[in-house]
Amino acid sequence: MTGATALTAATIFAAPAVAHDGVVESNPAASSTVEQLPGKISLTFSGVPQDGFNNIALTKDGNLITRGKPTQDGKTLSIDVPEQKDAEPGEYTIGYQITSSDGHATRGSVKFTLAGGNKGSSEAGDNSPSNDRETNESSSQGDDPMRGLGWLLPLAGIVVIGGALVMAIARWRNLNDDKRS
């Protein structure tokens, strides 16, 4: 009975540690193709990021275009993109590192493609929620090799608690056997 209680408690208390905020919407949208580089990049998360070490960067082929501390409006973080007169077509990556609503650092990325050249004066891209949640998750998981391994911590806790419980029961039985002898 005590083992089941310890196992349940370990699972309940460890589970929230693996729930970090993820991108649920972006502008430009994940995997979208835009004709002009947007004047502003926005990422909307599943929870409200804590004010802290929040950064967003835009890169192309590993070369930094812009980065900075974003402005926050609820769950949405945004940065302005300086005008790029010679923006080249190709794949761009919006990288982010935020302090999730659970207090943990979370990082990832969203990719989009620029079909045309030069930055437009208005916001470009489809800012509707992405129906392909798997694409968003795989994009953000690609940058962090430890992401997705969060289940190991609760499992390790369960193994440690279970091992300690087995050792305590064995020791208690040995003490009782010694008293009877």
Q: What is the pLDDT of residues 128-176, one digit of tens each?
A: 444 333 333 434 444 444 445 555 556 667 778 888 888 888 888 888 7
Domains of the chain: residue spans and CATH? 20-148 (2.60.40.1220)
Reported for 143-151, long-range contacts at CB under 8 A and 24+ positions apart, including other chains, are 143/95, 143/107, 143/108, 143/109, 144/107, 144/108, 147/108, 150/17, 150/18, 150/20, 151/18
DSSP string, 4-17: HHHHHHHHHHHGGG
118 in Cβ contact with 36 (< 8 Å): yes
Radius of gyration of the chain (CA): 24
Q: pLDDT averaged over consecutive 10-residue blocks of the chain (181 residues)? A: 52 53 95 94 95 92 93 96 87 95 92 78 42 38 47 67 85 78 65
Helix (H) or strand (E) segment spanning residue 162? helix 152-180
Q: What confidence score (pLDDT) does residue 122 get?
A: 41
CA atoms within 13 A on the CB side of 1: 0
Mean pLDDT score across all residues of the chain: 77
Q: Which residues contact 38 (CB under 8 A, 6 or more apart)?
A: 27, 28, 81, 119, 120, 123, 124, 125
